[in-house]
């Protein structure tokens, strides 16, 4: 008999953001106390210097940042604030390994300033200086031009020797846009490199998006699931919660990959996914009973149990090949009859004991 959904499980479904916030908090607590400090330097860059740095990409907008969305009246008010010497909010930058600075918070402001200095829009909707309405930068009196270019913006740079999880936590704290970035969108920007590019490509190549019924993966859910498998499969015995921090550490350690490593990662995901699909067919990653009533069309905890458990059997040569119907009934029986497995895919799913139990249960279920 299927287990009844508890109030705690229902809350996790209805309020997922609260769980994510707890994951961030747990992530910081997993860092040794002496490494939780944020290492920063403060710079006052002139507008002219910032535009130069944006153009030579020594300051750059990373992949996870939202596209430019400000209207011309919004942009014009920022330029007017520069003219009247109104304080501009602090810009937060991240020091990359190659010494360049990526923008954490301030994309809209910096892009607006560059666009105006490069004559890409005219001032509109001004309140303090309506006399400048309709003017582009080159049309302003040279004294106004110099005044704008000489204004300074306070920039706080998070140095590269800051612990990666502390950086991730700061990114999340500064993530206050109308549409908040998901943990994977933040991770994609913070650890962008060979691994992230490969995860995006593999999700498309393997037809994983169609399996998840995702037409346009704007929030990078499929990419996160690919990374989740690679992290757990590569370092299963070293897994420690929270899962988000574990994936972060894996992403940082594998940011740069050789062609051979990329080939191994690509092969492991594709072969494992094909094996799981061969076993479970149209019930892949679904929670269902022996009458084939589907309770959940996708469960991420069941996903990593199946992927990692099957991958371990493939690696040891012990994967049991069987008719799909038989495999489906075996999994349905496990879900219905093993209360501990049911809890492992439903409650506190990132706990070490829960992760290990569900993966080992699947490995034994489909072993010779």
Q: How far is CA 297 from CA 77, 178, 181, 213, 286, in A?
A: 48, 29, 24, 10, 5
- Same domain assignment for residues 51 and 22: no
- Same domain assignment for residues 359 and 228: yes
Per the domain annotation, does 169 fall within a domain?
A: no
Identify the band that residue 41 occupies on the pLDDT scale cut at 50, 70 and 90. Answer: very high
Structural domains of the chain, count: 2
Domain limits at 264? 7-34+179-365
Give the C-alpha separation, 351 to 33, whole Å.
21
Per the domain annotation, does 338 fall within a domain?
A: yes
pTM of the model: 0.68
Give the C-alpha separation, 360 to 213, whole Å.
28
The two tokens of residue 213 are 């019924």
Look at 143-147, 149-153, 207-211, 349-353 and tell me which has the smallest mean pLDDT.
207-211
- Same domain assignment for residues 247 and 316: yes
- Same domain assignment for residues 30 and 48: no
- Same domain assignment for residues 25 and 53: no
Per the domain annotation, does 64 fall within a domain?
A: yes
Per the domain annotation, does 165 fall within a domain?
A: no
Asked which of 128, 158, 188 is the last residue of a domain, the reply is 158
> 169 Cβ partners below 8 Å, 6+ apart?
24, 27, 28
Per the domain annotation, does 1 fall within a domain?
A: no
The model's pLDDT over 12-26, given as tens digits with 9 standing for 90+, comes to 544 444 444 445 445
- Same domain assignment for residues 67 and 104: yes
Q: What percent of the chain has pLDDT over 70?
A: 86
Torsion of CA 221, 227, 230, 235, to 10 degrees: -120
Q: What percent of the chain has pLDDT over 90?
A: 64
The model's pLDDT over 48-80, given as tens digits with 9 standing for 90+, comes to 999 999 999 999 988 666 678 899 999 999 999
């Amino acid at each position: 008999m299927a287990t009844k959904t508890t109030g705690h499980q229902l809350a996790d479904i209805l309020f997922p953001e609260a769980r994510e916030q707890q994951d961030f908090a747990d992530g910081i607590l997993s860092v040794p106390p002496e490494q939780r400090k944020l290492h920063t330097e403060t710079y006052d860059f002139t507008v002219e210097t910032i535009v130069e740095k944006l153009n030579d990409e020594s300051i750059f907008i990373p992949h996870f940042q939202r596209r430019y969305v400000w209207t011309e009246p919004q942009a014009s008010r920022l330029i007017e604030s520069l003219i009247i010497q109104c304080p501009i909010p602090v810009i937060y930058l991240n020091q990359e390994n190659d010494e360049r600075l990526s923008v954490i918070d301030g994309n809209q402001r910096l892009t607006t300033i560059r666009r105006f200095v490069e004559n890409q829009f005219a001032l509109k909707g001004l309140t303090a200086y309506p006399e400048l309405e309709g003017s582009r930068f080159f049309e302003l009196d040279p004294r106004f031009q110099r005044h704008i270019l000489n204004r300074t913006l306070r920039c706080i740079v998070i140095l590269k020797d800051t612990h990666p999880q502390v950086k991730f936590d700061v990114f999340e704290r500064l993530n206050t846009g109308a549409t908040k970035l998901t943990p994977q969108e933040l991770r994609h920007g913070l650890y962008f490199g060979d691994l992230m590019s490969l995860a995006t490509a593999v999700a498309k190549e393997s037809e994983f998006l169609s399996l998840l019924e995702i037409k346009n993966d704007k929030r990078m859910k499929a990419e996160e699931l690919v990374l989740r498998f690679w992290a757990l499969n590569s370092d299963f015995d070293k897994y420690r919660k929270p899962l988000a921090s574990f994936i972060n550490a894996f992403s940082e350690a594998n940011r740069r990959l050789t062609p051979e490593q990329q080939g191994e990662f690509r092969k492991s995901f594709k072969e494992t996914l094909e094996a799981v699909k061969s076993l479970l067919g149209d019930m892949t990653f679904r929670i269902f009973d022996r009458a084939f009533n589907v309770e959940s069309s996708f469960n991420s905890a069941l996903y990593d149990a199946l992927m990692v458990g099957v991958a371990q059997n493939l690696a040891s040569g012990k994967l049991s090949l069987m008719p799909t119907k038989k495999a489906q009934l075996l999994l349905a029986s496990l879900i219905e009859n093993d209360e501990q497995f049911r809890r492992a895919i439903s409650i506190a799913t990132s706990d070490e004991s829960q992760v290990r139990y569900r993966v080992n249960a699947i490995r034994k279920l489909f072993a010779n």
